[in-house]
Amino acid sequence: SFPGQFRNWFYSLLAMATVVDGTPPFKELFGYALLFAEDGRQMHKSWGNAIEFNEAADKMGVDVMRWLYCAHKPENNLLFGYGRADDVRRRFLIPLWNIYSFFTTYASLDDWQPGALEDPARPAETTPHSDNLLDRWILARLNQTIRDVSDALKSTDPFRATIAAEAFVDDLSNWYLRRSRRRYWKSDADDTDKQAAYATLYHVLVRLARLLAPFMPFVTEVMYQNLVRGVYPEALESVHHTLWPQADESVIDQALMDEMALARRIASLGLSARANANIKVRQPLSRVLVDVGSRARSLSEELTAIVVDELNVKHLEFVEDAGALVSYRILPNNKLLGPKFGKDFPAVRKALAALPPAEVAAKVAAGETVTLEVNGQTVELSGEEILVQTEAAAG
């Protein structure tokens, strides 16, 4: 625990360093709060929830254990156990390994080889060129992640670093690779787009191994030995001998990343709408209508093609008014209005129901009051006194 470490070990280091040579034993101190079992109790052998380090290292793996610590806010108590370790493995390690396994499998089948090694200390440092939109997006996200992780570590914030890394691996697995699989399956090994896909994914994996090496030293070492040492005899012996990757700011295309985020959001909502309507994705639909509020109501042709393919629709259309997509049901907040109006509450409810639902919803969304005529008197209702329910419009 941090209090115990501070009182004993950290204090002892300070005292000894001061007495011996009058210099501080460390420049910066990083510690966690209290460590508990994953059931929220203190660890005790008699309770059966204590875990020895050697047992944990063998059973959950030290890479998983390290990520479990790094992906935790140090000011909060850490719940340690095999269930938490399984969550880390499922959430991050397995997707990362599956991406690596996918690349190595198909690169071996096609006998694909990367270009010459320019700098053994910085393998795959030069950003490959590609005209493919997904390639340019994932390269932008990679360099954004390198920048964010570097900034987080400079601030001694491993939690923020792991959040950025996990988000990137999720993007890489659940969007880039899923949308790019067919590019690797092309029969022509010399196809330009297929070569660009291999070069991009190789570049991403090597730089990602270098980026994650301090967090997961063993998994990244396996990746490096195969991806780099297995190809270049002159490569450095270990991933831990290579230099820290530097973000290429020239490829961090914020506009592209924002537009891709919008496309993914549209696809996600569209799939949810299909699920709610019990319409399977394999059933084609004529169009999807989208309201994006105040944001630009357009996508590039390439992104539009991705979205319509993802949703299996023929057309994507943006609408000016969300009223075209939903209908509103306006209800009084009984808990607030009942005590407020007493015997007049039924009249208030009737007057509220008589108003156009879309107009009431718009006023509530804008933070405006709603005016009613009740028994010859003017009554104003605030937004919290009105409940607005939305439902998908018919059709």
Residue 370 main-chain phi, psi, to 5 deg: -115, 125
* Averaged confidence pLDDT in the chain: 89
With b for 16 or more beta-carbon neighbours within 10 A and e for fewer, the 234-259 pattern comes to ebbeebeebeebebbeebbbeebbeb
Of 132, 135, 146, nearest in space to 202 by CA: 135
The phi-psi region of residue 340 (left if phi > 0; otherwise alpha if psi is between -120 and 50; otherwise beta) is alpha
Report the predicted TM-score, pTM, of the whole model to 2 decimal places.
0.80
What are the start and end residues of each CATH 1.10.730.10 domain in the chain? 84-252
Q: Class assignment of domain 326-392?
A: alpha beta
Angstrom distance (rounded) from CA 372 to CA 370: 7
**Which pLDDT value is given to residue 294?**
56
* Cα torsion through 84, 66, 99, 108, rounded to 10: -130
What are the start and end residues of each CATH 3.30.720 domain in the chain? 326-392
The arithmetic mean of pLDDT across residues 134-140, rounded, is 98
250-279 confidence digits (pLDDT tens): 999 999 999 999 999 999 989 988 898 899
Residue 43 has pLDDT above 80, yes or no: no
271: enclosing H helix or E strand: helix 254-276
**Which pLDDT value is given to residue 145?**
98
Structure tokens given for 344? 């007049």
Residues facing residue 372 across a β-bridge: 379
CATH topology of domain 84-252: Isoleucyl-tRNA Synthetase; Domain 1 (1.10.730)
**Which pLDDT value is given to residue 296?**
61
305-317 confidence digits (pLDDT tens): 999 999 999 998 8
Residue 231 main-chain phi, psi, to 5 deg: -110, -40
Question: Is the model more confident about 207 or about 53?
Answer: 207
**Which pLDDT value is given to residue 91?**
94
Lowest-pLDDT choice from 120-134, 210-224, 325-339:
325-339
